[in-house]
Structure 1
Amino acid sequence: MKDEPIMACAEENPDEKPKCNPFGTRFLTDDTKVFEHNAWDDVEWSPEQQEEAQRIVQGQKSMKVDEEKAMRLLSTPADQWDAFYAHNENRFFKDRNWLLKEFPELNVEDESNLQKEKIEILEVGCGVGNTTFPLLQVNNSSSRLMLHSCDYAPNAIRVLKSQDAYDPEKMNAFVWDITQPASQEAPNVGSLDYIVCIYVLSAIHPDNIKNALKNLVRLLKPGGSLLLKDYGRYDLTQLRFKKDRLIDGNLYCRGDGTLVYFFDMEELETLLAEHGLQKKVMHVDRRLIVNRAKQVKMYRQWIQGKFLKSC
């Protein structure tokens, strides 16, 4: 694949919020109506909720993973995911059919792409294709798309490439640990229009995230975009962890041994800026999920962002 012509940088608009999200835009203005719907958007926490979350996380520090287990998990993070996909194949995750609502530029026919002769997208941490195949389907009629997909779990790539929908004319799936230099199968330096990172950086040890970002940013065109969604600090997932899950700081292990880190928005923005990525959009998606049958409230926090590579 040849490098594409350099694009001009888009105008930065840091105050813009995502155009949409999977649940639409529903705001809770009357607490007595909280159980009338399954989800509410941009629900601000009270000071008491914030203090309770901090108390829970502080309490987790007395129940950390033992040092030997932590060292084992940290030394072979790809092995845990590889074992996960070997066991689950393509039966665990659902397809992310909400992608174009949050990231409409991934549609080849979006107005931001109309002047481009070719569009190259890299999905990082592709797993078995729950982002890859929905993107291919929505853009299947376009001859301008080249979709790259990488994961550091060989079993994930094996499952993805074995599926009938895999089209080697439009797709390039390969194994790559993004904390290491790019493999020969990776797209060319400076060739990508978009990099999609959904729950990817949180699966990497914080000490290795800088290497990962450096390697990814090299592949973006000037003016190309990194599209991000990941776990925010004090998300329900973090607060639910019990004994033997906290490794250190805000880094945890799940029951299957895979790692997950919970970001503060300013921390993540600083990391991205250090690697030449300018904020276009960044938003903490504070979602209140409601189990109406059981009258239970569940508070989720994700960080969404769009970042441009400096010209």
Structure 2
Amino acid sequence: MDGSWSEGVPAAVGGKRQQFGSRFLSDPARVFHHNAWDNVKWSEEQAAAAERKVQENSTQRVCQEKQVDYEINAHKYWNDFYKIHENGFFKDRHWLFTEFPELAPSQNQKDLLSENKRSEVPECRSEDGPGLTTEQHGCSSDSLGGHKTQLPPVEENVTQTLSHLEICADEFPGASATYRILEVGCGVGNTVFPILQTNNDPRLFVYCCDFSSTAVELVQTNSAYDPSRCFAFVHDLCDEEKSYPVPGNSLDVIILIFVLSAIVPDKMQKAINRLSKLLKPGGVMLLRDYGRYDMAQLRFKKGQCLSENFYVRGDGTRVYFFTQDELDTLFTTAGLEKVQNLVDRRLQVNRGKQLTMYRVWIQCKYRKPVLSNTS
């Protein structure tokens, strides 16, 4: 993927980062004056052409034998990806604080802390847990590197301690914290580390997991990794038997950034259902992912389609392209209430090469209802 295309980062104007949907192209002659334009309207011809392109690249499907391989060996393909790119492929997501203020210190966070009865964790129980998969993006990296520290191998350090573990209120990582964030599909930490660096609240604890043990090891060996404030672990979003290292109703925020699209569509609902159980009443699930007819979908060739709107890349990693309605159904079926569900059609600009490409992302925020009889 071309490393010059970003993952949908809002442009900064006068040093202040703008929210998505705030920069409009009113004069086509000025298209190369900025790196991106928001909410670009598609003509009927453009929309029809995109639909034809998807129909064309979907006519030839990957054979069943290969589809089984991509599912069974998904962890291998993601491990290989991170072994090749390490932390040199991704860019730190500081834009998340503009879009999702729940991640940064603010009055909103204080209000949510109070509303959620933050110090309470329900009865001793174990929660089934999905794991992590990260979505790759075409962007250059702000280095996350740092001096390596010696840690036990990821598989021994994390997997053994979580295997068949009954999680009780007073014996899980971050049990004393009053504000807890989980990122599913953390990759090499491009969301986690900006959160830890921006939010110094001692009451905060961040969990992060990924399907790739290589990615988790890169997080754990980063100089910014602080075990007193963060717990990184390997987890498969689709594994119905494996528990998360936290009790149900214990998280304030769950983050899914270009992650859900990497798993088999048939497994998405159960994965979201399990995550929903981890949220406190009033807690929120935040998502940003690929939308239908994004340029990445239009670029696929015949023979890369696994099922409708679901594809495999050349490196064996997979990606799905959503509609707003599909995501709304996933979240509401899991018992969550819509706060935000928007589509961002962006015109991405490579000013150096004088190229333009159309991106489509969907951004969602769904809240777990606050029930008066919830303890």
TM-score, reference length from structure 2: 0.74
CA deviations on 1:165-219 (whole Å, 9 max, x unpaired) are: 1111000111111222474552221000000000111011001101111110110
Match of 1:112 among 108, 111, 117: 108
Matched, 1:179 2:235: no
- Match of 2:364, as an amino acid? G
Paired with 2:244 and 2:26, the residues of 1 have a C-alpha distance of: 51
Partner SS, residue 59 of structure 2? helix
Map of 1:283 onto structure 2: 342
What residue number does 1:5 align with? none
Which 10-residue stretch deviates more, 150-159 or 221-230?
A: 150-159
For residues 237 and 274 of structure 1, what CA distance do their matches in structure 2 show? 28
Match in the other structure for 1:230: 289
Change (3 A) 1:219 1:203: same
Partners of 1:148 and 1:113 in 2: how far apart?
17
Give the conservation status (yes or no) of the 8 Å contact 2:58–2:302: no
CA distance in 1, matches of 2:244, 2:330: 27
Find the partner of 1:97 among 94, 101, 107: 94
Moved over 6 A (4+): none
Distance in structure 1 (CA, Å) of the matches to 2:66 and 2:230: 38
- Which amino acid is 2:192 matched to? T
Give me the whole-angstrom Cα distance separating, in 1, the residues matched to 2:218 and 2:343: 33
CA–CA distance in structure 1, aligned partners of residues 219 and 235 of structure 2: 14
1:244-259 matched pairs, under 5 angstroms: 244-259=303-318
Give distance in 2, aligned partners of 1:126 and 1:293: 31
- Check conservation: 2:56, 2:302, Cα contact below 8 A: no
The Cα shift of 1:36 comes to 2.7
Gaps of 5+ in 2: 1-7, 12-17, 119-177, 371-375
Counterpart check, 1:170 vs 2:229? yes
> How many Å separate the matches in 2 of 1:101 and 1:277?
23
* Partner SS, residue 58 of structure 2: helix
Give the letter for the 1:92 counterpart: F
The answer (yes or no) to whether the contact 1:182–1:215 under 8 Å persists in 2 is no
Deviation of residue 294 (structure 1)?
3.5
Match of 1:266 in 2: 325
Match of 1:22 among 3, 6, 10: 10
Aligned to 2:84: 87
Alignment-derived partner of residue 41 in structure 2: 44
Aligned position for 2:161: none
How many residue pairs match? The answer is: 290
151-160 or 79-88, larger mean C-alpha shift: 79-88
Q: What's the CA shift for 1:87?
A: 2.7
Instruction: Report the alpha carbon displacement of residue 72 of structure 1 after superposing the two structures with TM.
Output: 1.1
Deviates more, 1:262-271 or 1:110-119: 110-119
CA contact (8 A) 1:63 1:242 kept: no
1:200-241 Cα offsets, whole Å, 9 max, x none, are: 110110011011111101100011000100000000100011
Q: Which whole-Å CA distance do the structure 1 matches of 2:350 and 2:185 have between them?
A: 30
Q: Which amino acid aligns with 1:111?
A: Q
Q: Cα 1:89–1:32, aligned 2, differ >3 Å: closer, same or farther?
A: closer
User: 2:191 corresponds to which letter in structure 1?
Assistant: T
- Looking at structure 2, the residues matched to 147 and 166 of structure 1 have their Cα atoms a distance apart, in angstroms, of 11
Q: 1:159 to 1:182 in 2, by over 3 A?
A: farther
Q: Structure 1 residues 147, 82: closer, same or farther in 2, change over 3 A?
A: same
Tell me the CA shift for residue 104 of structure 1: 1.3
Mapped to 1, the partners of 2:63 and 2:331 lie a distance apart of: 32
Q: Which letter does structure 2 place at the counterpart of 1:112?
A: N
Counterpart residue type for residue 176 of structure 1: H
* Distance of 2:301 and 2:242 partners within structure 1: 38
> 2: distance between equivalents of 1:130 and 1:183?
25
> Is it true that 1:206 corresponds to 2:268 in the alignment?
no
C-alpha displacement of 1:296: 2.2
Distance 1:298 1:194 in 2: 33
| Corresponding residue number in structure 2 for 1:13 | none
CA–CA distance in structure 2, aligned partners of residues 246 and 63 of structure 1:
7
Percent of counterpart pairs with the same letter? Answer: 48
**In 2, Cα distance between the equivalents of 1:29 and 1:125?**
37
The CA deviation at 1:28 is 1.3
The equivalent residue for 1:197 is 256
1:69 and 2:81 correspond: no
Select 2:188's aligned residue among 103, 128, 132: 128
Separation of aligned partners in 2, 1:94 and 1:297:
21
